[in-house]
């Protein structure tokens, strides 16, 4: 094994909105959550210095570990983020940042999805990760084309009705 070979850092495509969201969460976790948890640990120690039996201390330490792990994860994502300005994108071909309207060919149900980076994907907000099966099937396609996607419920066919840049 050659230790001189470095693994390339995988960039994470993200929108400016997604990047700002990661920054906001990191700021909150460092400036608000970390001091609050530290205070909780101090209070628990003052109440009962017997650590193995101090449930409040154990709970606060567990919360601290989770918060610190998330801080490290956010710092990593921000360091690898590649912010893509969607306002400068256009065209009929589906790519990162596109808002795509598709029609389920079985049910005629209309669905609208924006293709975003993994950190900002949120199905409730109709934002799907560029790494999701649906997004991977859509990338490179144009209005009017049909795609097939393997979902947990089986294969689904969709027709691309619209490609927008918002």
pLDDT at 62: 96
pLDDT digits (tens, 9 = 90+) for 80-93: 999 999 988 899 99
Whether residues 19 and 74 share a domain: the answer is yes
Query: Is residue 7 included in any domain, yes or no?
Result: no
pLDDT at 11: 86
CATH of the domain at 110: 3.10.50.30
pLDDT at 4: 54
To the nearest 10 degrees (0 to 180), the angle between helices 55-80 and 34-47 is: 160
Give this prediction's pTM.
Answer: 0.79
Tally of structural domains, the chain: 2
Q: What percent of the chain has pLDDT over 70?
A: 95
Residues 6+ apart with CB under 8 A from 159: 102, 103, 105, 144, 145, 146
Whether residues 111 and 127 share a domain: the answer is yes
* E-strand stretches of 91-136: 99-104, 110-116, 127-129
pLDDT digits (tens, 9 = 90+) for 153-166: 889 999 999 999 98
- Among the listed residues 141, 143, 146, 134, the one whose alpha carbon sits nearest the alpha carbon of residue 163: 143
Give the chain's residues under pLDDT 70.
Answer: 1-8
CATH of the domain at 39: 1.10.287.180
**Residue ranges in the chain assigned as alpha helix (H):** 16-28, 34-47, 55-80, 133-138
Per the structure, the complete domain to which residue 23 belongs is given by 12-83
Whether residues 126 and 68 share a domain: the answer is no
């Amino acid at each position: 094994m050659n230790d001189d070979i470095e693994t390339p850092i995988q960039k994470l495509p993200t929108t400016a909105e997604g990047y700002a969201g990661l920054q906001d969460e990191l700021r909150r976790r460092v400036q608000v959550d970390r001091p609050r948890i530290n205070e909780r640990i101090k209070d628990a120690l003052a109440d009962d210095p017997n650590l193995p039996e101090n449930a409040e201390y154990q709970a606060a330490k567990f919360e601290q570990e989770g918060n610190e792990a998330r801080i490290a994860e956010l710092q990593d994502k921000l360091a690898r983020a590649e912010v893509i300005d969607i306002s400068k994108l256009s065209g009929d071909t589906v790519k990162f940042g596109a808002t795509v309207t598709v029609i389920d060919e079985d049910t005629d149900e209309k669905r609208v999805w924006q293709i975003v980076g993994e950190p900002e994907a949120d199905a409730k907000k109709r934002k799907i990760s560029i790494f999701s099966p649906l997004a991977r099937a859509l990338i490179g396609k144009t209005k009017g084309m049909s795609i097939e996607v393997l979902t947990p419920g089986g294969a689904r066919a969709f027709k691309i009705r619209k490609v927008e840049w918002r």
